[in-house]
Structure 1
């Protein structure tokens, strides 16, 4: 049988060639497969491109046990994978919870463990441009920072050894529907995708269709905004590292001590960004906006020395010249090496 090929195959093939680190030639890939339209399209496209990129493909399916026919569908999916010559791992969530966040956390934890078992270097999911548009709109409604608006990147670290990749961000859900039909792939529907109790489902069913009617192609353009925000965030990160070098106090000041006056001479937005970055380098999670604003008010010009507990065991201390972290019980500056920002 002649290899399947279409403009969609060509588009994905070229995109991967332009980004060789995304799914490297010969890599071992573990594909997360729900059995729905997007994940089955992902399997079909990667199967067809395998001869050009020499990947080793394996599948993983998570049975969330949140619907009556979940076990039956998992068995049918396993049979199909066997017919295709694709190794598959079926995993059952032993303590299911209906919350979206809990299910997502279980999936990624289970995927990381499964990838380690089978020697995969990359975990691949079927998120599309439509998913990224939905995520941006949800984060926008929650008042998220720009970092949240830039979610669902083409790749991110899953663990220290594993990379999570989303190659279908190139396509909208309407396009994966078309590809799915063209490839003649099976489909296992998840009734929970229509459940209005889930915020993403309501956005998908009630909000995006209106936006598409008003401005056809809205999903793709909104996804493009998320991509540009991610690129801007990466470029800004380089500038932040350069600025941070100018704010760190020189020896004999304690390790990673920050110059207070230099920090407070900057614009408020830069103060917030650089202070958060400095804390993160030392393993302190981002401060909530109200706490950060209160802290910067206490550091303002003319205010004296002080301190505040950031989390259990870690205190931020400052005099008129410097800021530094110290163990709350030790009374001496923290000596931890800086960690890489996510």
Structure 2
């Protein structure tokens, strides 16, 4: 019997033809399956499209152990997958915590490990456009940097060989419900998705319905905005790399630093952007907007040499000409007086 075909199958198929690196043909894909509506729609669509893209499909389910019936549901999901001819790896959290961030960290660690062991180049999740709209609202409320508002991208690296892929960003949560019903897929819903203790659930249940009532299609437009921000950030990153090349000093006996005078001659917005990009290249990714402003104040031309302790134990040293980043520890032959001027970004800067 031919595999089912619908406008949803066609939309995803066309997306994969436009974005061949999202789920490459003939690749081994590890699908993260919770048993809920979105992940089951993911399994159903990729199972039906497998004949066109020739993937090797593997499933993974993580049992958080939060509910008494979670183990029973996990076994039922595994039995269904076996009946579909889809190998499923079932793992139970040995030290469960009722903390969403900790659970997400555990899931990603296990998915990354299992994907590496199985030779899967993609870990595939069922995130939808609705998830991306919720994330944008949460990041806006938290005062996130622009980069956070473009999160939930189509692809992001997990390690050197595995990337996390989100092909269902082309669908809304309402559409994954239709897919699940059309394909007659079973469901094992997680009651925690309705728990108002989790901020995302309150955004989903209380905020987005109001926005949709006021401006129908709001979720789709919010998701589109997040996608455009992500695309702009990728384009901006390429321009930043070119601009940084012009700001790097060229010492003969130490790693290249950043030319301080050239940096501070730029317009303030470009100073912030390029300094943040350079620090991220060095591995210092935890600077807040306030910390970055304090650092730039200390780099003004009228200020002298100095040093700062960065989050994570790294350090930044500068003289009147250039800035140098080090991973920590004392610096051989630092100029007299620098140690006395060393401060932490968490301290008040005059």
TM class by smaller structure? over 0.9
Question: Residue 272 of structure 1: CA displacement?
Answer: 1.3
Mapped contact 2:145–2:289 kept (Cα < 8 A): no
Find out whether 1:34 has 2:34 as its counterpart.
yes
Residues 108-147 of structure 1: pairs in structure 2 closer than 5 A: 108-147=108-147
Alignment of 1:112-191 (within 5 A): 112-191=112-191
**Counterpart for residue 213 of structure 1:** 213
Residue 7 of structure 2 aligns with which residue?
7
Q: Work out whether residues 279 and 286 of structure 1, in 8 Å CA contact, stay in contact via their aligned partners in 2.
A: no
Root mean square deviation, CA, Å: 1.4
* Equivalent residue, structure 1, for 2:294: 294
| Residue aligning to 1:338 | none
Structure 2 residue matching 1:96: 3-state secondary structure: coil
For structure 2, list consecutive stretches of 5 or more residues without a partner in the other structure.
335-350
Equivalent pair of 1:33/1:125 in contact (CA under 8 Å): yes
1:330 is matched with 331
For the 8 Å contact 2:38–2:128, the answer to whether it is kept is yes
After TM superposition, give the deviation of residue 97 of structure 1 in Å: 0.8
* Cα displacement string for residues 270-321 of structure 1 (whole angstroms, at most 9, x for unaligned residues): 1111112112222223322222211111111211122222246533221221
Distance 1:253 1:88 in 2: 53
Does structure 1 residue 77 correspond to structure 2 residue 77?
Answer: yes
SS, match of residue 72 in structure 1: helix
Aligned-pair CA distance for 1:237? 0.6
**How far, CA to CA, are the matches of 2:321 and 2:188 in structure 1?**
63
Q: Deviations over 1:92-115 (max 9, x none)?
A: 001111111011001100111121
Q: TM-score, normalised by structure 2?
A: 0.92
1:339 alignment partner in structure 2: none
Give, in whole Å, the separation in 2 of the partners of 1:4 and 1:104. 33
Give the structure 1 partner of residue 339 of structure 2: none
Q: Distance in 2 between matches of 1:325 and 1:50?
A: 48
Correspondence 1:10-89 to 2 at 5 A: 10-89=10-89
Quick check: 2:154–2:169 contact (8 Å CA) kept in 1?
A: yes
Over 3 Å counting, the alpha-carbon distance change for 1:103 and 1:332 in structure 2 is farther
**2:281 matches 1:281:** yes
Change in CA separation of 1:235 and 1:188 when aligned onto 2, cut-off 3 Å: same
Q: Residues 297, 89 of structure 1: CA spacing in aligned structure 2 closer, same or farther, 3 A cutoff?
A: same
Question: How many corresponding residue pairs?
Answer: 333
Q: Which shows bigger deviation, 145-154 or 293-302? A: 293-302
Q: Is the 8 A contact 1:33 1:60 kept in 2?
A: yes
Match of 1:337 in 2: none
- CA spacing shift, 1:306–1:167, aligned 2, 3 Å: same
Whether the aligned pair in 2 keeps the contact of 1:309 and 1:328 (CA below 8 Å) is no
2: CA distance, partners of 1:210 / 1:321: 54
Change (3 A) 1:213 1:311: closer
1:248 positional shift: 1.0
TM-score, L = length of structure 1:
0.94
Deviates more, 1:250-259 or 1:240-249: 250-259
SS of equivalent residue, structure 1 residue 4: coil
Indicate the SS of the match to 2:310: strand
Taking the aligned partners of 1:279 and 1:178, their CA distance within structure 2 comes to 45
